[in-house]
Structure 1
Amino acid sequence: MTTFTALQARENDAGAFEQVLIERHIDDLPAGDILVRVRYSSLNYKDALSASGNRGVTKQFPHTPGIDAAGVVEASSVAEFSVGDEVIVTGYDLGMNTAGGFAQYIRIPASWALKRPQGLSLREAMVLGTAGLTAALCVDKLEQAGVTPEAGPILVTGATGGVGSVAVALLAKLGYEVAAATGKAEQGDFLLGLGARQIVLRSELQDGVDKPLLKERWAGGVDTVGGDILFNVVKSLRYGGSVACCGLTAGVAFKGSVLPFILRGVNLLGVDSVELPLVVKASMWDKLSLQWKLDGLEQLVEEVSLTQLPEVIGRILAGQLVGRVLVRVD
């Protein structure tokens, strides 16, 4: 029986959660259409929540997190995939309640997997991962809402994070004037290097929570944090502007009113990358591999092994990470 290495999140005798490397048997994996030998994964905030025992993300422990995986098909029971196909898997239930990408093997339904676009390597796909896919979806939503580079500055909140950093780079590539908002003032050079034209401190976006409207500043926005900061961005949109919302690190609730919507005609656009139809995911990955392909991805990424993951999970929960974390699955 083939064994493989996996990171397992489990509750110890003291009631605290820990992450340890274990050996698993392939026969212990859940049923599925394809068996994938994972080459790369990536670390997202949701992975850290799962790894630390958040039962809103993962209900049953012990568990292997990892909502992203890129690898090679080693067995398939469906015609759509053959042994040797290189595939990308993001979202759905992977790494939430189904054993995820922080392991050398996953077994999944065929409906979760995409064949790797020719313009991206497996490694590049996981430098982007769910964060990059989400950033692309946000930009796509803004474009669909009519936000153009000529409309004015675009604000990205949580700009040093995974989604935020990719959004800054992607918007800059497409010709937008990007304002990068962050609580990490010392990362200004990093953000300017990604293409941001101005740095906005997070504290500036926290003022005016009790006001129904704020001065018009932004033609659009990508919000990765939620909470009152999100609605302050909404209140600061120029007439007809739009903000794409995809995160909640600053909270799930905000103080809001209808005034920005009925006086300025602005739009709050929700973005989900988890249960999105596979055909939509495929179209975004195609864009990211062709006309939206980013140069200089290496400046965004820290590469780690499965062995190093527990320490890095602690750092992301403490808000100490910048950019993306690529997980090399040896």
Structure 2
Amino acid sequence: MKAFVVEKNKNDEIISSVKDVQKPICNENEILIKVEYSSLNYKDALSSIGHSGVTRNFPHITGVDVSGTVYETKSPIFKIGQNVVVTGYDLGMNSDGGHCEFVKVPASWAIPTPDSISNKDIMIYGTAGLTSALSINELINNGLQEHSSVLVTGSTGGVGSISVAILNKLGFKVTALTTKKDKDNFLKSLGATEVILIDDFMQNKQKPMLKENFDAVIDSVGGEILAQAIKQVKYDGIVTCCGLTASYELNTNVFPFILRGIRLIGIDSVECKIEKKQKAWEKLAGKWKIECLDAITKEISLEEIKEAYEKLLSGKATGRYLIKI
């Protein structure tokens, strides 16, 4: 089968390319998926350059997301021909991922694809959409009401763009934060009421607290941007964090937490309970389904992955990359 393979050459340098490799063998309590679609995430890009915090086994097939049909099963849970989606766990990290024609996974990782959504659309969402849904769930479960103001950082990325669109559909007032001056119209087309550029947002960053501007924040970048956002959350507000494209460090102070009572909630879509994932997918396939999936998506082939990784790593990517296998 064809696969996008990352490996080390004789000089111990990381290289990658599309190659012909052996189709995996399905073992007990596993399923073999005939891949229809996969997608690209920042974690995939890190794996492609041999980041030790993501992947330590080489050669390696990237792809932390996959959708397709069960081609072979050695599990009573699934039957041949059933549509399934897999995101997270060790897929595409130290187990071969979805950037190939066939992938085998433990049956416990797979979720039946809801009938109301296609394998294509569920993979446009992928880990980014799942993370977005889990983040929005936390806002709602912690009392955020319709028409509340929500700041979305990293708004042109996968999590950010999907979050903007879903929040708009649910009736929230969305402010999109971006470094890209030319994406104002794009973000407003997704549902952003206001677009703020990073240079304006980061003013007065030396102050421990700033004016209360937002009821909640969905952050996917971390670092100074998350720290600056926390300072601007209104009393009893909620902040979710799920990413580190800016930095894994968070240098902040306790004033917003003890004087405004805000809550900072971490979001993990990798190891969260499968029942929680299932409910999130059902919302994305149902009442939270957005109409602009095609507008935020660029469909590419296996051969185009390498170029897309370069854009992801350099911060030049917009929306979602969908891989048609």
Please tell me whether residue 297 in structure 1 is matched to residue 321 in structure 2. no
Q: Equivalent of 1:53, from 47, 50, 55?
A: 50
Distance 1:18 1:205 in 2: 38
C-alpha distance 303-31 of structure 1, shift in aligned 2 (>3 A): farther
Sequence identity percentage = 42
Aligned partner of 2:120 in structure 1 is: 123
- What SS does structure 2 have at the residue aligned with 1:61? coil
Please tell me whether residue 231 in structure 1 is matched to residue 227 in structure 2. yes
Aligned partner of 2:240 in structure 1 is: 244
- What SS does structure 2 have at the residue aligned with 1:268? strand
Aligned partner of 1:37 in structure 2 is: 34
Aligned partner of 2:204 in structure 1 is: 208
Question: Is this contact kept in 2: 1:29–1:99, CA < 8 A?
Answer: no
Aligned partner of 1:176 in structure 2 is: 172
Distance 2:204 2:13 in 1: 39
- What is the letter of the counterpart of residue 176 of structure 1? F
Aligned partner of 1:141 in structure 2 is: 138
Give the alignment of 1:252-271 within 5 angstroms. 252-271=248-267
Q: How many residues align?
A: 325
RMSD, matched Cα = 1.3
- What SS does structure 2 have at the residue aligned with 1:308? helix
Q: Equivalent of 1:77, from 74, 78, 83?
A: 74
- What is the letter of the counterpart of residue 245 of structure 1? C
- What is the letter of the counterpart of residue 159 of structure 2? V
Distance 2:125 2:116 in 1: 13
C-alpha distance 47-57 of structure 1, shift in aligned 2 (>3 A): same
Question: Is this contact kept in 2: 1:246–1:272, CA < 8 A?
Answer: yes
| TM-score of the aligned structures, taking structure 1 as reference length | 0.96
| Unpaired segments ≥5 residues, structure 1 | none
C-alpha distance 282-156 of structure 1, shift in aligned 2 (>3 A): same
Aligned partner of 1:12 in structure 2 is: 9
Question: Is this contact kept in 1: 2:25–2:104, CA < 8 A?
Answer: no
Distance 2:300 2:34 in 1: 18
Aligned partner of 1:323 in structure 2 is: 319
TM superposition shift of 1:253: 1.2
C-alpha distance 202-130 of structure 1, shift in aligned 2 (>3 A): same
- What is the letter of the counterpart of residue 8 of structure 1? V
C-alpha distance 235-303 of structure 1, shift in aligned 2 (>3 A): same
TM superposition shift of 1:32: 5.5
TM superposition shift of 1:94: 0.2
